[in-house]
Amino acid sequence: MSDVFKSRVAILGMGYIGLPTAVVIATRGIDVIGVDINPATVAALSRGEVPFVEPDLAVAVSGAVAMGRLTATTETPEAEAFIIAVPTPFNEDRTADLSYVKAAAEQIAPRLKSGNIVVLESTSPPGTTQKVGDWIGALRPDLRMPRDGETGADVFIAHCPERVLPGRIMIEMITNDRVVGGLTPRCAEKAASIYRLFAQGEILLTDAASAEMAKLVENAYRDVNIAFANEISLISESLHIDVWEVIRLANRHPRVNILSPGPGVGGHCIPVDPWFIVSAAPQLSRLIRTAREVNDHRPHHVAGQVVENAKRFRSPTIACLGLTFKANVDDVRESPAIDVVGLIAKALPDVEILVSDPYVSVMPGLLSKYDNLHLEGAHQAVERADIVVLLVEHEPFKAMRHTRLAGKVIYDTRGAWH
């Protein structure tokens, strides 16, 4: 019989992954303590409120808090299991910045008791879970850390990468298969007992480095495939062929499934994770690096096209629809739409640019320095514009009646009005 975890869990990092994970565990009748360094996040959670938009999350959080199953604090408490779900951004040289993971490990270390489980969920370069063990071991020489090929460790350390898709987190948290990689097989088995509480997908046990690499490879796979679509778009454009028609036709082949070109690849994962692979094996990662470069170039290409078009007008008004990193979420991290708007605003300082996004009510910091940018409702923006640039295919934009767009120059980067 496989173990199912029954005690208290502390989750460090109450963001897009830590909070939904906390809620689904709490909903299974386990006491969960959410830990975050940001007192505003802790205060909001303690009131049962969610600091960001994700379908079905708010109602689950308020329920779990009201039942007393989910509490929040800035101090790491004692618990039987600890899940680390903090960010792993990259440094200027594109190596992983593990400072948040290290800080989390160092907060957990003094609280650890024999028999406790520590799971790293943050996306990390191969070898990071081992480092977590080393950081904890340095602070707790009294505890035996798990070592490959040895038994009898006092604590169990594993990596279980998150794989949920923003916008579908509450569904995928339950239905996705999970990969659990332990520093030893016993660590993997112990960590899996937590995920058995709520995961309906299969739980696949492996070693920590394979789990770390599998996660990075998943996102690099998507990046490479989006880069392929973006390159097809570039080539089709230069040959005056409609890329959307080409992809529609090619995708009727039973073994072809080309993704959608767009203004670039955003979010906190896909533009970042492939670099962890490149920095682990720079000489060998030619395709992965090129895909990153192709996708990173997209905002420049799109902005360049719009600026060229604008030069055909004496005093044009431009509407840019969408600022978030993808459709139907409120997340603007690493958003290519923001890059496009910034590049246009910079290139055309005398042109009025109206920006609209149903999920964004304040001009993002990166754009606040441009005087020629104004937030506007979508319908007003389109009505006043000579050029309409669709950057994110939010549902209300997709539903916009074609009559509203008649007579305007349209630059539809997502194929939403096709």
Which chain residues interact with ligand SAJ by CB under 6 A?
123, 162-166, 218-219, 222, 226, 259-260, 262, 265-267, 269-270, 325-326
Instruction: Give the separation between CA 213 and CA 252, rounded to whole angstroms.
Output: 32
- Cβ neighbourhood burial of 28 (10 Å; 0-12, 13-18, 19+): middle
Nearer to ligand SAJ by Cβ, of 225 and 309: the residue is 225
CB of 224 to ligand SAJ, least distance (A): 11
One of 160, 269, 320, 326 is an active-site residue; which one? 269
Q: Which residue lies nearer to ligand SAJ by CB, 146 or 166?
A: 166
Query: Which SS3 state, helix, strand or coil, does residue 373 take?
Result: strand
Spatial strand order in the sheet of 117-120: 70-73, 32-35, 9-12, 81-84, 117-120, 156-159, 178-182, 203-207
Q: In the annotation, is 215 catalytic? A: yes
All residues at 6 or more sequence positions from 230 whose CB lies less than 8 Å from its CB, including other chains: 261, 262, 264, 294, 295, 298
Angle at 51 between CA 13 and CA 95, to 5 degrees: 40
Closest approach of Cβ 417 to ligand SAJ, in Å? 16
Name the residue nearer to ligand SAJ (CB basis): 158 or 173. Answer: 173
The distance of closest approach from Cβ of residue 212 to ligand SAJ in the complex, given in angstroms and rounded to an integer, is 12
Q: Which is nearer to ligand SAJ, 101 or 145 (CB)?
A: 101
**156-159 vs 178-182, strand pairing mode:** antiparallel
Q: How far apart are CA 33 and CA 68, in angstroms?
A: 10
**Minimum separation from the CB atom of position 328 to ligand SAJ (A):** 10
Q: Decide if 345 contacts 373 (C-beta within 8 A).
A: yes
* Active-site annotation holds for 160: no
Of these residues, 190, 215, 320, 326, which one is catalytic? 215
Amino acid of residue 402: H
Helix ranges (H only) for 239-315 are: 243-250, 273-280, 286-310
- HSE, CB side, 13 Å, CA atoms: give it for residue 354: 17
User: What is the nearest approach in angstroms of ligand SAJ to the Cβ of residue 332?
Assistant: 11
Residue 207 or 334: which CB sits closer to ligand SAJ?
Answer: 334
Question: Active-site positions?
Answer: 215, 269
